Structure 1
Amino acid sequence: MRILVIEDNESVASMLEMFFAKEGIKGEFISDGLEGYEHSKSGKWDVIIIDWMLPGMDGMTICRKIREEKNTVPIIMLTAKDSESDQVLGLEMGADDYVTKPFSPLALMARIKAVTRRYQANNVRQVDNAILKTAYFEINKDTREVFLHGQPINHLTPKEFDLLVYFAQHPKQVFSREQLLEHVWGYEFYGDERTVDVHIKRLRKKVGTANQPFFHTVWGVGYKFDEVLVENEI
């Protein structure tokens, strides 16, 4: 596994370098944002880990530029920011996951394994299983295209797309936040259920309406996907 780490904190970089060496991972460490961005284009990486605050070019800009180049490499953001708005911003820029500082190397490793498993699974999907249709959606899982009422939806982040696919494959089934973290994020729950809430909110805004939110809250349990029309939905 080859991992590019763009991180200017020497203690964090040193910790990861030692941990990667133990795990047999080839890590390359860049402390400047602009240099790191240029380096992201120089080789085939299995994962890119990017700090939020960097000299030269900030992590959000790096992430956005990588995605604008149609590069689907898994990206994990490292950040000391833990507010909902900060999480949303990182996910909007195309990050697959984020880890809040301080963190343990083992927790980060679980996230790395999860995003690489999903990436590899996406690349081996068979064409005959690529198209998913519901009453209102048509989703191409290979090209990651979404059509709602026949119109393209082009502004979903990678994780929002994955969540939509999972829900559409299990209509009306109620999932807890822990179950969604396990099946969509692919790692054991580490204590931040807000990740699920943020994505549900964003999906409601992007594809839902007041009387057809698609993603319904089941109080005390979690969420479900249902295309039914409703009069009032919180």
Structure 2
Amino acid sequence: MKNAVILVVDDDPKIRTLLRRCFEGAGSTVREAGDKRTALAILAADPVDLVTLDLDLGHDDGLDVARAMRKTSKVPIIMVTAKDDVIDRVVGLEIGADDYITKPFHLREVLARIKSVLRRTGDMAPLSQPSPQSQCWQFDNMTAVPAEMALRDRDGVLLDLTSGEFKLLEVFLKRPKRVLSREQLMDLTGGHCYAPLDRTIDNQVARLRKKIERNPASPRLISTIRGIGYSFTCEVQSCDGQSPSKSADKALAKSD
């Protein structure tokens, strides 16, 4: 997370100070906000790589703040809150949050989750790696470009996918026509903190279907495998005509 710009949104100045010192110690630049208005103003004025967002902001509702952010930005959001309610967590993730941490938290855990989210959203790619600008995947006359986290529909229109939805789609595109359990999908998308019976993956699949299926009520691309999980049943090719990389096999084997 070195050189990342992180916006800390929390109405408790002590928590903001604690997180600021922690993030700055890891090489990040930190912006602070104690309310919705300030948070949205900072996000609109300055480029931000990630937001940590408290659900309880006194007079403001953190979920409302997340909704407002999602109207104008795809910036990764990590909920940091004292609430441990499953409904709050699911709603937060449905809005487009990328992870969820419950207070009291350990700073090492917070740092680890931030690094994981930034890696998943492409901001932590090692400088020594070649840029995958040319990589893209085609399926059902749609085109996905991982390097840009972009998906264009059958008419070439850019679809509005959250980072979590795009990561789930990318997992499917790299493993077409394979049955993936919910546990495998949670692991491959970085959702290690979710319980096996958590319906987060089901909710993410439902949202993704609404955006890529011709008829979400009768899905053809993402099939439900009763009692197990899901399978991406569509043919997938990279833009150079090759099949999905074998590297996906190695990642899948690790998740078993």
Q: Alpha-carbon deviation of 1:113?
A: 0.4
Cα distance in structure 2, aligned partners of 1:104 and 1:176? 30
CA contact (8 A) 2:159 2:211 kept: no
Structure 1 residues 173 and 162 mapped into 2: Cα distance closer, same or farther (>3 Å)?
same
Query: Is the 1:6–1:51 Cα contact (8 Å) retained in structure 2?
Result: yes
- Residue 120 of structure 2 contacts residue 167 of structure 2 at CA under 8 Å; is this kept in 1? no
Amino acid in the other structure paired with 1:113: K
Where 1:162 maps in the other structure, the secondary structure is helix
- Structure 1 segment 27-42 matched on structure 2, within 5 A: 27-42=30-45
Rounded to whole Å, the distance in 1 between the matches of 2:155 and 2:162 is 20
What is the deviation of 1:163?
A: 0.9
Structure-2 residue corresponding to 1:157? 162
8 Å contact 2:143–2:152 — kept in the other structure? yes
Shift of 1:17: 4.3
Say which of 45, 48, 73 aligns to 1:45: 48
Q: 1:62 aligns with which of 60, 65, 77?
A: 65
Instruction: Tell me if the contact between 2:186 and 2:194 (Cα under 8 Å) persists in the aligned partners.
Output: no
Residues 118, 25 of structure 1: alpha-carbon distance in 2 compared, 3 angstrom cutoff: same
Per-residue deviation, 1:108: 2.3
Q: Please report how far the alpha carbon of residue 49 of structure 1 lies from its aligned counterpart in structure 2 after TM superposition.
A: 0.8
Aligned residues: 222
- For 1:216, the equivalent position in structure 2 comes to 223
TM-score by length of 2: 0.68
Alignment gaps of 5+ in structure 1: 229-234
1:57-206 mapped onto 2 (5 Å cutoff): 57-69=60-72, 71-79=73-81, 80=83, 82-84=85-87, 86-120=88-122, 125-130=131-136, 132-135=137-140, 137-141=142-146, 142=148, 144-147=150-153, 150=155, 152=157, 154-185=159-190, 189-193=192-196, 194=198, 195-206=200-211
The separation in 2 between residues aligned to 1:150 and 1:26, in whole angstroms, is 40
* CA 1:45–1:13: 2 relative to 1, 3 Å: same
Runs (4+) off by over 6 Å: none
Q: State the distance in 1 between where 2:116 and 2:86 align.
A: 23
Q: Indicate if the aligned counterparts of 2:142 and 2:151 stay in contact, CA closer than 8 A.
A: no
Do structure 1's residue 226 and structure 2's residue 236 form an aligned pair?
no
Task: Give RMSD over aligned pairs.
Answer: 3.4
**What is the letter of the counterpart of residue 112 of structure 1?**
I
In structure 2, list runs of 5 or more residues that go unmatched. 236-256
Shift of 1:15: 4.6
The amino acid of 2:177's aligned partner reads K
Using the aligned pairs only, state the percent identity.
32
